[in-house]
Amino acid sequence: MNRQLPPAVILAGGLGTRLRPLVSDRPKALAVVAGKPFILHQLEWLRRNLVQSVILCVGYKGEQIVDYLGDGSRLGLKLTYSWETKPLGTAGALAEASHLLPPEFLVLNGDTYTTLHLKPLWEVHHRHEALVTLAVAPTQDSSAVGGIEMDANGRILSFREKEPGAQLVSMGIYAVSQKLIQLIPEQRPCSLEKDVFPNLPGLYGYLSPVSFIDIGTPAGYQALNRHLSSLEA
């Protein structure tokens, strides 16, 4: 019998400034990709991975997301919302949602697309009894995003912020213990990968067998649109 995974948090409150040349009238989560809002691609993927409950951290134009998705019943999911009245960053948004979070949960950036199976990530997280386990993917160029160094046992050794030379990058998908919330700085806004993760002990990575696409840039958005449209052709 398949065992469902814990709730997932989608960090969907960003301003989406990098995508503004293409999408300016709606939040990034509702950017249309291959004929439907991007958030639907994420929610359908979570449901296929046996996630039944999702917390959406919303902010900029978040009312459009709530109006579109409602309580999630038409998608076979339970959706709840945590609101940012001002930009808090990824870590700040997670802290703001702390009253909704169970002891363990998944976190997903609102601009990450992948076909990754989540169960192996969760199993690695439990095997190491980790505070946080990041899904990581190989890269040929870490200069545009933060690179990661990881040892043979999966322990993350360092983060390299937009420096060339790293062979791994974060996919923006994490398995998390609620104890993390206590370690998020009080200043806002703050970022998980810039302000929180580099200072944590017991941080592990799961090497993904599949890649991902970040739709937060025009190039990434167009690449995913082409990829998904080609699958449907």
Residues belonging to the active site: 162
Q: In sequence order, which residues have a C-beta less than 8 Å from that of residue 73 and are 6 or more positions away?
A: none
Query: What's the Rg (C-alpha) of the chain?
Result: 17
Of 124, 230, 221, residue with least CA distance to 173: 124
Largest CA distance in the chain: 48
CB 36 within 8 A of CB 71: no
| CA gap 200, 45 in Å, rounded | 29
Asked if omega into 189 is within 30° of 0 (cis), the reply is: yes
Instruction: Report CA-CA distances (Å) from 232 to 12, 49, 71, 227.
Output: 26, 21, 28, 9
- C-alpha to C-alpha distances, 173 to 34, 53, 57, 94, 190, nearest whole angstrom: 22, 16, 15, 13, 17
Report which of 90, 66, 69, 81 is spatially closest to residue 14, judged by C-alpha positions. 90
